[in-house]
Amino acid sequence: MRDYNFAYLDEQTKRMIRRAVLKAVAVPGYQVPFGSREMPLSYGWGTGGVQVTASLIGPEDVLKVIDQGADDTTNAVSIRKFFARTTGVATTTRTDEATLIQTRHRIPETPLRAGQIVVFQVPIPEPLRWLEPREAETRRMHALQEYGVMYVRLYEDITRHGRVAQTYEYPVIVDGRYLMRPSPIPKFDNPKLDRSAALMLFGAGREKRIYAVPPWTSVKSLDFDDHPFEVEHWDRPCAFCGARGVFLDELIVDDKGGRLFVCSDTDFCSRRRAESEAG
């Protein structure tokens, strides 16, 4: 049995995926169907993101992989090892050093810069899916820009809870046209999508869709004039680095209700700690 190609996928497949990526960039927020391949990791483990990354990665790239904001979670480790093994490219945990960042569920706290590409792993790409299970119907709704049902859903939350009770995969409108599901990132990260300097690519392997937010594109979280979009906030800083205004994970430290709130972004947190020790 022979060895695998650079980045596992054959060049024909990479070309097919790059075509889908180009189309996705040309029509921001639009879900482009693509011939998703079986990958050597399981569906639900980031096959869409892995395919997008595999189609784009070159020998000069520096790759960072995170899951839940952290570089050391098992699936992030596994995907980083997969690319290290099949491409031999340099990997990093530093957001500012990476040219390609594959992520599950978070956008790094460190501001992204032009030239960087963020690849999101997406389980369900269709923002209207819980409102309409049929693909044939949701494609028609996108074509007609028929998004009233989503506003009704948010409105129903407000009547029931006094606020929108959607905390992650909070729906956005991209470039004033397409309704998009920003993968299951917390809504806390939604503002980072808006006019980002980096290219944002979304790959859904099992559902066979790719979509994109090109650099400097408007991404607006749905809201109402009297109920503007808000992100979650914590009333304490990170217990490790003292950062405020970042997404905090909650750790349960004993069985007496003891809790610790720490940065979800491990790279951001460890560098802040290193800087404060050095300073």
Which residues here bind other proteins, judged by CB under 8 A?
4-5, 8-10, 33-40, 42-45, 47, 67-69, 72-78, 81, 104-106, 123, 134-136, 161-163, 165, 167-168, 184-188, 206, 208-209, 232, 234, 247-251, 253, 260, 262, 264
Q: Which of 48, 242, 269, 279 is catalytic?
A: 269
Cα–chain center distance at 70: 13
Q: Nearer Cβ to other proteins, position 185 or 217?
A: 185
Q: Nearer Cβ to other proteins, position 118 or 217?
A: 118
Q: Nearer Cβ to other proteins, position 73 or 218?
A: 73
> Which contacts of 169-173 are long-range, i.e. CB under 8 A and separated by 24 or more positions?
169/124, 169/127, 170/221, 170/222, 170/229, 171/127, 171/221, 171/222, 172/219, 172/220, 172/221, 172/222, 173/29, 173/147, 173/219, 173/220, 173/222
Q: Residue 271, Cβ neighbours under 10 Å: how many?
A: 17
Respond yes or no: is residue 238 known to be catalytic. yes
CB of 26 to other proteins, least distance (A): 19
CB of 40 to other proteins, least distance (A): 4
Q: Which amino acid is it at 81?
A: K
Beta-bridge partners for 261: 250
Respond yes or no: is residue 269 known to be catalytic. yes
Residue 68 corresponds to which tokens in the numbers above?
């839940």
Respond yes or no: is residue 263 known to be catalytic. yes
Cα distances (Å, whole numbers) of residue 260 to 243, 247, 266: 13, 13, 15
Q: Alpha-carbon dihedral of residues 204, 205, 209, 215, nearest 10 degrees?
A: 50
Respond yes or no: is residue 35 known to be catalytic. no
Q: Nearer Cβ to other proteins, position 81 or 195?
A: 81
Residues listed for the chain? 279
CB of 113 to other proteins, least distance (A): 23
Q: Which of 29, 46, 69, 203 is catalytic?
A: 29
Respond yes or no: is residue 29 known to be catalytic. yes
CB of 208 to other proteins, least distance (A): 4
Catalytic positions, please? 29, 238, 241, 263, 269
